[in-house]
Structure formats: structure tokens, C-alpha cells
């Protein structure tokens, strides 16, 4: 399965600032997604990162708050903009090799906003 490197692994940020999270995969993948896991909760899909085009956002998530880039088939970034304490969560990059294969997840970025 794909090896996914996510950076940073954790960060503590001040309210009103932005953080960009990077996701690097060791092989080309068709599908790449960004999920959020709030403390003690399940995972919620933020968006599908589309190679060479704008990301597809789920209900409740907007591009101005969570801009995403995917310049090629092995790399994506998620930015959490104008952060508030409510953005404190684990952000997870995930990839799938095909339409039926399971998602594989990076180790996540644990974000704390103070």
C-alpha cells in the first residue's frame, strides 16, 4: 500500500493565523481526500483534492476557509485559514489506489488553536 507522509505532525497556532499541511505519497494515486477528526469524534470528509483543478468540498466546508492544492498525483496541501479554537482537530490526508480499494491514511496533523 502507499506510504503517506504528512507534515507537520502537530502544531500549536494562534487564533487568526493560517497553517498549511502537506501530504506526500510515494506513488501516484488517483484519489486523495482530506478528513477532519475532532477530539473524541469520528472522521468527517472536508474535500476531495482533484489533480490540476479545484477541490470538491463537502457540505459545511468552503474553499476560503480550507483552500486545497493538488499540483500532481503524489502531493497535496490543505490550508486551515483564519483559525479559531473550533478548528482544533486532527487533519488527515487519505488516498485510494482505485474505486474499491480501502483508503489509506497519513499519520495526521494534530492542530491546537489557542
Q: Which residue has the cell 489533480?
A: 51
Q: Report the C-alpha gap between 50 and 73 in whole angstroms.
A: 9
Nearer to other proteins, 13 or 103 (CB): 103
Nearer to other proteins, 74 or 108 (CB): 108
Window 16-55: contact mask with other proteins (x via CB under 8 A)? ---------------x-x-------xxxxx--x-------
Task: Name which of 40 and 85 has its Cβ closer to other proteins.
Answer: 40
Nearer to other proteins, 44 or 84 (CB): 44
Segment contacting other proteins by CB under 8 A, of 19-27, 61-69, 80-88, 105-113: 105-113
Q: Footprint of other proteins on this chain (CB under 8 A)?
A: 1, 31, 33, 41-45, 48, 92, 96, 98-108
Amino acid at each position: 500500500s502507499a506510504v503517506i507522509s504528512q507534515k507537520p505532525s502537530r502544531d500549536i497556532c494562534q487564533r487568526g493565523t493560517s497553517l498549511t499541511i502537506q501530504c506526500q505519497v510515494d506513488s501516484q494515486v488517483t484519489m486523495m481526500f482530506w478528513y477532519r477528526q475532532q477530539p473524541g469524534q469520528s472522521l468527517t470528509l472536508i474535500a476531495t483534492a482533484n489533480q490540476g483543478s479545484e477541490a470538491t468540498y463537502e457540505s459545511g466546508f468552503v474553499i476560503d476557509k480550507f483552500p486545497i492544492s493538488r499540483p500532481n498525483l503524489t502531493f497535496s496541501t490543505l490550508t486551515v485559514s483564519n483559525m479559531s479554537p473550533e478548528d482544533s482537530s486532527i487533519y488527515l490526508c487519505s488516498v485510494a489506489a482505485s474505486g474499491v480499494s480501502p483508503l489509506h491514511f497519513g499519520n495526521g496533523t494534530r492542530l491546537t488553536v489557542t
